[in-house]
Amino acid sequence: MRVIVIGLGVIGRAVCLGLARRGVQVRGFDARTSVHREGSSHGESRIIRTAYFEHPDYVPLARESLRLWRGIEREKTERAPLLDPRPCLVLGKPESLVVSGVLTAAHAHGLKVNRYSQEELGAEFPWLRAGESWSGVLEFESGILHADRCRQALGDLAVRLGAELNFGAKIVGWGVRGDRVWAESPAGMVEADRIVLCPGPWASETKGLGGLPLKVMRQVSGWMETDFRVASELPVFFFDTPDGYFYGMRSPEGNSIKLARHYGAPEKSNVLETMDEPNADDADCLARFVSSHIPGLIPSGREATIRKMEACRYTLTPDRHFLVGELPGYSGTCFTAAGMSGHGFKFAPAIGEMVASALVGKGVFPGIFSPTRWD
């Protein structure tokens, strides 16, 4: 079997790796360089968590992803780790989706968690300021992924197993001819048996996906210096606040933390509408969160100061679940892994395996991710 993969962010590379592991002849194409800052895959870190508040059905996929990331870490040639295991603390009102969802997922799948009342939170985590009547849940099958290293490792392993990855190679058209597919690349026409679309935030501009209800959201991460001792003991955290969702984690540098808002920004129809550089409003939003909810992480005698920022793009589906499966109308030749909705990075290796297994006839796609669920 021969497969074309369009888009080589973390998801596209994972699909290439899954296919290459099965002996499939795979050629991947991306219009941009191997490392760029315009999509969703770049950056120093991402959270990986297992007690998934978004839906209990994600838990097996998260566990499989943890297993696969550890395996990829052992396989890669560079010694730098991919995963920093750390507990994950979620906070909010007991009835909030974040808190109740984690407890539901943990109960459904037998995950170990610790629960905290508002008073217990203050005693156990003195750096935070819990809101009135808040509670918290700490899970343990979680941690920090080194994002740039993860993306590089996926691509390197795929190439080692025979995949061909072409960067700076924009596909200007593709289609179906009988039971075959074709794509026009800078090197000429390429033919294959299947095609997989992994375009990230360019999904709305991609043939086969343009009619789906996808939006793009610009999100900004910021970094703040903090006390090294506090940072070294810090769990990853996710807060459900009156101003929206916020999350954070220790930076690999050791003396800073990464912070970001999750959702809440305007949803745009086109990725080009989300290319604004981070600005003072973005910094103020993060600084307000720090001052209100994690004041103990502010260096003594100073104000919360965001020292650097970086933007990325979420590709959103209406229900915030992924878009993974066969696209209708293409006679079983066209598939996609897109619409990761701001929480797909951690699942990349499991999604790559899912797509690859389905393409070789040894797996099925979960209905929760179906591209036809809005029909």
- Tell me if 195 is assigned to some domain: yes
Ramachandran angles phi, psi of 269, nearest 5°:
-85, -20
Alpha-carbon gap, residue 281 to 263, rounded angstroms:
15
- Please say if the pLDDT value at position 326 is more than 80: yes
Alpha-carbon gap, residue 250 to 269, rounded angstroms:
33
* 8 A C-beta contact, residue 234 and residue 250: yes
98/110 same-domain check: yes
pLDDT for res 186:
86
* 8 A C-beta contact, residue 265 and residue 217: yes
Q: Sorting pLDDT into bands at 50, 70 and 90, what band is 166? A: very high
Q: Sorting pLDDT into bands at 50, 70 and 90, what band is 228? A: low
Structural domain count, the chain: 2
| CATH number of the domain that residue 91 is part of | 3.30.9.10
- Please say if the pLDDT value at position 151 is more than 90: yes
Any idea how long the chain is? 375
Question: What is the average per-residue pLDDT within 70-84?
Answer: 92
Tokens of 186: 């800078």
Label residue 310 exposed, middle or buried (CB < 10 Å: 0-12, 13-18, 19+): middle
Q: Sorting pLDDT into bands at 50, 70 and 90, what band is 187? A: confident
305/173 same-domain check: no
Within the chain, how many helices (H) and strands (E) appear?
A: 8, 21
- Tell me if 97 is assigned to some domain: yes
- Please say if the pLDDT value at position 183 is more than 90: yes
Question: What is the average per-residue pLDDT within 17-42?
Answer: 95
Alpha helices in 57-184 (DSSP H): 58-75, 97-109, 118-124, 147-160
Question: What is the average per-residue pLDDT within 197-203?
Answer: 96
151/132 same-domain check: no
pLDDT for res 78:
80
Closest CA to 64 of 346, 361, 367: 346
225/113 same-domain check: yes
- Please say if the pLDDT value at position 132 is more than 70: yes
111/18 same-domain check: no
DSSP for 302-368, please give it: ------EEEEEEEEE-TTS--EEEEPTTSTT-EEEEE--TT--GGGHHHHHHHHHHHHTTS----GG
Tokens of 84: 């920093």
Alpha-carbon gap, residue 81 to 73, rounded angstroms:
6
- Please say if the pLDDT value at position 22 is more than 90: yes
Q: Sorting pLDDT into bands at 50, 70 and 90, what band is 19? A: very high
311/166 same-domain check: no
Angle ∠(89,354,110) on CA atoms, nearest 5 = 35
- Please say if the pLDDT value at position 193 is more than 80: yes
Chain-wide mean pLDDT for the chain?
95
Question: What is the average per-residue pLDDT within 289-318?
Answer: 94
* 8 A C-beta contact, residue 181 and residue 334: yes
Alpha-carbon gap, residue 215 to 315, rounded angstroms:
6
Residue ending a domain, among 287, 316, 345, is: 316
The per-residue pLDDT for range 213-223, each reduced to its tens digit, is: 999 999 999 99
| CATH number of the domain that residue 348 is part of | 3.50.50.60
Q: In terms of residue numbers, what domain contains 362?
A: 2-44+147-209+319-369
* 8 A C-beta contact, residue 171 and residue 198: no
Question: What is the average per-residue pLDDT within 138-164?
Answer: 97
- Tell me if 374 is assigned to some domain: no
- Please say if the pLDDT value at position 51 is more than 90: yes
- Tell me if 180 is assigned to some domain: yes
Q: Which of 56-60, 62-66, 225-229, 371-375 has the lowest mean pLDDT?
A: 225-229
- Please say if the pLDDT value at position 233 is more than 90: no
Angle ∠(146,203,156) on CA atoms, nearest 5 = 35
Torsion of CA 58, 60, 61, 66, to 10 degrees: 120
Q: Sorting pLDDT into bands at 50, 70 and 90, what band is 77? A: confident
Alpha-carbon gap, residue 16 to 32, rounded angstroms:
17
Alpha-carbon gap, residue 39 to 153, rounded angstroms:
18
* 8 A C-beta contact, residue 32 and residue 201: no
Q: Sorting pLDDT into bands at 50, 70 and 90, what band is 249? A: very high
pLDDT for res 263:
97
7/87 same-domain check: no
Q: Sorting pLDDT into bands at 50, 70 and 90, what band is 232? A: confident
pLDDT for res 313:
97
Torsion of CA 324, 326, 328, 332, to 10 degrees: 170
Q: Sorting pLDDT into bands at 50, 70 and 90, what band is 302? A: confident
- Please say if the pLDDT value at position 231 is more than 80: no
What percentage of residues in the chain have a pLDDT greater than 70?
99
230 compared with 143, residue with greater pLDDT: 143
Strands 236-241 and 244-250: antiparallel
135/232 same-domain check: yes
159/134 same-domain check: no
- Please say if the pLDDT value at position 210 is more than 90: no
**Which DSSP category does 148 fall into?**
H
Label residue 372 exposed, middle or buried (CB < 10 Å: 0-12, 13-18, 19+): exposed
Question: What is the average per-residue pLDDT within 85-114?
Answer: 97
Question: What is the average per-residue pLDDT within 39-57?
Answer: 95
